[in-house]
Structure 1
């Protein structure tokens, strides 16, 4: 018995030491990043943490995978007690733990083991039977199934041999052994007798095997994607408790700053690096990514995986500590510090997924998953500390494919944030290297010179006001005119560059003006004093230009004492509401999207839709209105209030709605790989056979109209803003 205890202590001691060493080394790698203020928890943070960790809120969006993970999660919690009981039996000569109602405890353990085994088999079926495109295949993704399956089988076989070794009289009653009892009978029929040497030897064999597999799994966890078992709860606890997708301002006046943005892995902050080790590699992010779905190189999952691998390799090189233990077992014959991973020069091969032309517009992540898996590989002689983050790890094609829609973050069950990492790398490219696509550069130059992406004269920004008066008979006054009269308006109507310059978006503005006038709203606009909100500049990575525009606009708003802003552009709405306060905009300034204001006016009875609009309408949700600001109901409440409108939701709508492809500055850049994102989204809308695709964003409206021109010949389906449909019902066609 003494030898058993000594061997047990040696094995457990070695495993725990190596486990602790591996975890601490990865903590050191994380600490290479920019210091991050890990905020203390709040009740709100605690509730969100509980929903995600214990309620599996996001995991259950895929019900089947979510239920399987729920079994793993709670199964492993319950089986920890069973593992302690089984280990104690082996060390104490067969004595169970003195637990109350032990037979019921034993029954619950065997049923839990059976459920976990079924979940393992189902997981293998989903990966290798259904072959879900978002799931990786190979020996590494399968290893955890073998670990868990082996743990469960060694438990059942240990319990079965134990029943034979101690005899029926000393075992729990048959009704409390639903699995081990039938197995022990099979073993007895195979020749293993009660109390025999074979029975005792079988228990010893599978008891030690269970211990070895358990300790091996303990050591495997922090050296694989399953490190998320430890890091995901921490990541969820410390996730940002602020508006979704809010970008961290750069201190451009810091004279000691050597760089802006992220040009090296250590330029990310420590929370961003913690994200990397929390990744489950479940592929949910890539599965909904508009770039990956339409044949671009960007895959949010591979973004995280590549940054994680690079951090691990560079961290090992900088600290001279191997990330793997036992090093020889993991690294093979080569040093674990050599042959770093490098991204190859590849692009997905986009193929038509069917015979019809429409089939080429269906989303498909397989081409991107295939090339990412093949291109990210070890290169002989490559040293991690010498690799370029942008070029050798992340390619520029990947960074400029992101629409910043945040669908990846909405789906991520461990709270990873992908968009801010991409923006930080864009910031480095733009501010430090001056590298960006030529059409993006042209848009930025136009914004800088004329405060609009087309480069149209700044003096023509107020031209829409004259046209509005001609078309509607309503004269919209400017804030300067109102100040002269000494009668400031209740609301500032912010037209934005699209509303001021784009002919199609102007029509939306005219209807919005008519509705506000009908409701008796006191409003005015800035006219030529209005500037670009800076959203495009910031998402492309030019933080300097954004901050200049931001401060100019804030000065103008303060000059007129503006208390409430309404805009028809979700990008402007998000920027004013969530990002301008970082630069001095008073939190007392109320910022509303036009659908929110119209919904309120409708509720107050100040607008009365009375004319029927016989249309079958599907709603395309703007990412910056929906996922960034949780506003999904306002546009729908307006449509439901219109008599005659039949509302039909797309398969992907609400929080899971697909991006139109215009966000992140891509409105002003061409797509050069795969199919266009807006074509794919338009095809999804057409599947529900609408007569109108409705949106509440000038970018989305433009992209949907462009998609309709390509995907339909008869022109029967139109794209319209919610305000246009409401105006038709209020005033008649």
Structure 2
């Protein structure tokens, strides 16, 4: 059968395929569809058997779907940190969807419109020409995208694409897509040769080009008909096998990724799930596979092994025993093995046989870089916290962490110093710091542990007090009634102690008359803003990081800075994880820094891509075995990779100050760069302004 004399602008879908072959195809398509549907049903059953999730994942469902649709179809998460991957995935996704939609349109025309409804085919004329052009164009985009994927995986062999969980399904997935994409054009070219080059088929510009190549190579009409039959069945069987395999292998992420984004917690990581009030110690954390919630299992299935979380993880970069991707995939593998009748073992343990080693959890800095980098919004930190809780309940946390927890329990601070010494930092000031317990204030200033007890950070507390006094801020502190905020206590797994700290701090604040809370430490800022309200409904105060308040003071002219005081200095700024990635505050600190007149040079990794100092998640209390401290790597970046000749390394977090002061010593950077807090920079500018004013007024005084 040929099209040499065809009257209509169209093509025969089952060209060279007999009625028996057509019926066989429909039968196989039905089987593939049933296998697909059963696989999807089986996944739903697994999720239904999962534990309940502590957060409402389906509230405001229409807006969740709209948001997920925007995220998926714009590919915005794919472009973060990796433009190549964004372009690659965009071409594959849009090409694949177009081909899927095109195939669906053809099926509607053939099986519903013409057969069931007995209407004339609309797959003719201008519609056919437009259809052919769009399918060829987007099919080419699809092939280019898959080619980019193959090049990255097998050409440059990008390290993050290879690991302990790389296997046959990864190769099968990408090569199947490639064969489907290229095979479609080969078939089209053979068909055009076999139908003697209908002139209108030039709209199928890729297929027509392939046909010209085949014709030039000597392919005749008869050979084309023969080859088309074999090629058509090969293509059809591969496509049907792919459809059937979707719920059982890597292609499943095409469904679970969207579902995972729909059900994502917008505050994931910023707040952590509570431990049920009636839970016994034997039930806290991930004890067994039965503790995986349905959302946890959806997280596991959404993982595409892309390795972006691994690339972003500062613990992995430092040589610690942590790969966020492997943790998620290890949990998934274990869940699947149990479903297949495997032996149950400990989820996490210090030594012995377990799914996850305790060392991996102790390596985590709770910086949320993995979650920020994940294109399908897997909530790594939630899983890590469940495992940390298990280690805590079984007494398997490292001794320094246990010691810090005991100090906090006994004295309200990680240093183990008496509470009465908490306000000792105020002794060196030449003014009295207001007591929020005795007078009404606008801002209750939560000073925090390190600015209260650590000598280096006491300078930060004094600088902040000076700024508040200079600007006439109505503020006060809790003095010895202030206790540890609990942010990192919670992240190392001590939920019970965290709840006690919340209760004590809320009670102390309830006895004061104030309007807002301002925090020195981004860790305190995060937990007061995102976690305390979840623990106590009465805690509904506006919460600010000090840089946000100081930005208001600068903008309002209450500090009188001209913006030129420190113009001779070049600095760089490190975004603290809990202020930046956790809470999206990037500009206030920069505006305050610029207000001093310094030249601000940005490090290559800034804002949401900032590289953690290593102090979060209990890191401040631990000595890790690592190739290079995260703080040393960050200081190296400031000195070697940042243009402008950076002299000073500016921070906005007491933990960062502590870690980077240590990194200066261990990395031998003491003579190369200074570490300074933003508050200290402001005070320097104030002193410079005062000195300038003094020098201007001296001659007049002499007269």
Asked whether the two chains share a fold, i.e. TM above 0.5, the reply is yes
Contact 1:90–1:207 (8 Å) recurs in 2: no
Moved more, 120-129 or 547-556: 120-129
Whether the aligned pair in 2 keeps the contact of 1:609 and 1:729 (CA below 8 Å) is yes
Deviations 1:242-284 (A, max 9, x none): 4653101113x31678511112232132112111101111111
How far apart, CA to CA, are the structure 2 residues paired with 1:184 and 1:272? Answer: 50
Equivalence for 1:466: 427
Which position in structure 2 is the counterpart of 1:142?
A: 171
Q: CA deviation at 1:38?
A: 3.1
Within a 5 Å distance, the mapping from 1:382-531 to structure 2 comes to 383-386=342-345, 388-390=347-349, 391-431=353-393, 433-467=394-428, 469=429, 473-480=430-437, 482=438, 487-531=439-483
Match of 1:601 in 2: 553
Aligned 1:342-421 pairs, distance under 5 A? 383-386=342-345, 388-390=347-349, 391-421=353-383
1:279-294 correspondence runs (5 A):
279-294=303-318
Q: In 2 relative to 1, CA 99–453 (structure 1 residues): closer, same or farther, beyond 3 Å?
A: farther
Q: Deviations over 1:54-109 (max 9, x none)?
A: 1111211211111111011110111124435777999999x883474311221222
| 2:52 alignment partner, one of 28, 35, 57 | 35
1:654 equivalent to 2:607? Answer yes
8 Å contact 1:134–1:282 — kept in the other structure?
A: yes
CA distance in 2, matches of 1:25, 1:42: 23
Q: Is the 8 A contact 1:134 1:287 kept in 2?
A: yes
| Shift, 1:556, TM fit | 0.9
Q: Distance in 2 between matches of 1:191 and 1:129?
A: 33
1:88 and 1:97 in contact (8 A); partners too: no
Shift in alpha-carbon separation, 1:591–1:43, aligned structure 2, 3 A: farther
**Residue of structure 2 aligned with 1:204, choices 202, 223, 229:** 229
Q: Given the alignment, which residue of 621, 636, 645 partners 2:575?
A: 621
Matched, 1:78 2:95: no
Distance 1:725 1:41, change over 3 A: same
Query: Superposition pairs for residues 295-374 of structure 1, below 5 Å?
Result: 295-317=319-341
Question: In 2 relative to 1, CA 620–299 (structure 1 residues): closer, same or farther, beyond 3 Å?
Answer: same
Per the alignment, residue 208 of structure 2 pairs with 181
Aligned to 1:344: none
1:45 is aligned to 64
1:636-647 matches, within 5 Å, as 636-643=590-597, 645-647=598-600
1:543 pairs with one of 483, 495, 504:
495
- 1:427·1:542 contact (CA, 8 Å) conserved in 2? yes
Task: Provide the C-alpha distance between the structure 1 equivalents of 2:249 and 2:155, rounded to a whole number of angstroms.
Answer: 24
Deviation string 1:282-318 (CA, Å, 9 cap, x unpaired) is 111110101111111211111111111111221232x
Gaps of at least 5 residues in structure 2 are 1-17, 116-120, 692-703
Whether 2:191 is the aligned partner of 1:162: answer yes
How much does 1:581 deviate? 0.7
Q: Distance in 2 between matches of 1:278 and 1:213?
A: 24
- Tell me if structure 2 keeps the 8 A contact 1:642–1:726: yes
TM-score with structure 2 setting the length:
0.88
8 Å CA contact 2:385–2:491 kept in 1: the answer is: yes
CA distance in 2, matches of 1:41, 1:145: 36
Query: Structure 2: how far apart are the matches of 1:45 and 1:26?
Result: 21
Q: CA offset at residue 123 of structure 1?
A: 1.5
SS at match of 1:719: strand
How far 1:237 sits from its partner (Å)?
Answer: 0.8
Residue 710 of structure 1: how far off its partner (Å): 2.7
Matched, 1:228 2:253: yes
Deviation at 1:399, TM superposition (A): 0.9
Matched length: 651
For residue 568 of structure 1, the aligned residue among 499, 503, 520 is: 520
Distance 1:8 1:46, change over 3 A: closer
Distance in 1, matches of 2:571 and 2:322, equals 32
Quote the residue 1:631 is aligned against. Answer: 585
Equivalent in the alignment of 2:87: 67
Cα distance, 1:88–1:599 mapped onto 2, change above 3 Å: closer
Change (3 A) 1:152 1:507: same
Question: 1:648/1:544 Cα in 2 relative to 1: closer, same or farther (>3 Å)?
Answer: same
* 1:366-385 deviations in Å (ceiling 9; x for gaps): xxxxxxxxxxxxxxxxx343
Deviates more, 1:662-671 or 1:455-464: 455-464
Is 2:603 aligned against 1:668? no
Instruction: Give unmatched runs, 5+ long, in structure 1.
Output: 318-382
Residues 629 and 182 of structure 1: CA distance in aligned 2, closer, same or farther (over 3 Å): closer
Q: Does structure 2 retain, via aligned residues, the 8 Å contact 1:534–1:549?
A: yes
Match of 1:217 among 226, 236, 242: 242
How many angstroms apart in 1 are the aligned matches of 2:477 and 2:646? 35
**1:178-220 residue CA offsets vs partner (Å, 9 max, x unmatched):** 12223223333444433x3x32222222221111111121233
Please name the residue that 1:686 is paired with: 639
1:511 and 1:652 map into 2 onto residues whose CA distance is 28
Is the alpha carbon distance of 1:509 and 1:118 closer, same or farther for their aligned partners in structure 2, counting shifts above 3 Å? same
Contact 2:400 2:622 in 1 (8 A): yes
Task: Report the Cα distance in structure 1 between the residues aligned to 2:70 and 2:454, rounded to whole angstroms.
Answer: 44
Partner secondary structure for residue 31 of structure 1 = helix
TM-score of the two chains, using structure 1 as the length reference? 0.85
RMSD: 2.3
**Cα distance between partner residues in 2 of 1:32 and 1:670:** 41
For residues 167 and 17 of structure 1, what CA distance do their matches in structure 2 show?
Answer: 39
The CA distance in 2 between the partners of 1:134 and 1:243, in whole Å, is 25
1:121 aligned partner: 147
Q: Distance in 2 between matches of 1:450 and 1:88?
A: 72
The DSSP-based 3-state class of the residue aligned with 2:241 is helix
Partners of 2:391 and 2:345 lie apart in 1 by 18
1:677 equivalent to 2:630? Answer yes
- Listed one character per residue, the Cα deviations across residues 513-540 of structure 1 (whole Å, up to 9, x for unaligned) are 1110111111111111111111232111
Check whether the contact 1:87–1:207 (CA below 8 A) recurs between aligned residues.
Answer: no
Contact 1:268–1:421 (8 Å) recurs in 2: no
Contact residue 621 and residue 695 of structure 1 kept, 8 A: yes
Query: Residue 134 of structure 1: SS of its match in structure 2?
Result: helix
CA–CA distance in structure 2, aligned partners of residues 533 and 184 of structure 1:
70
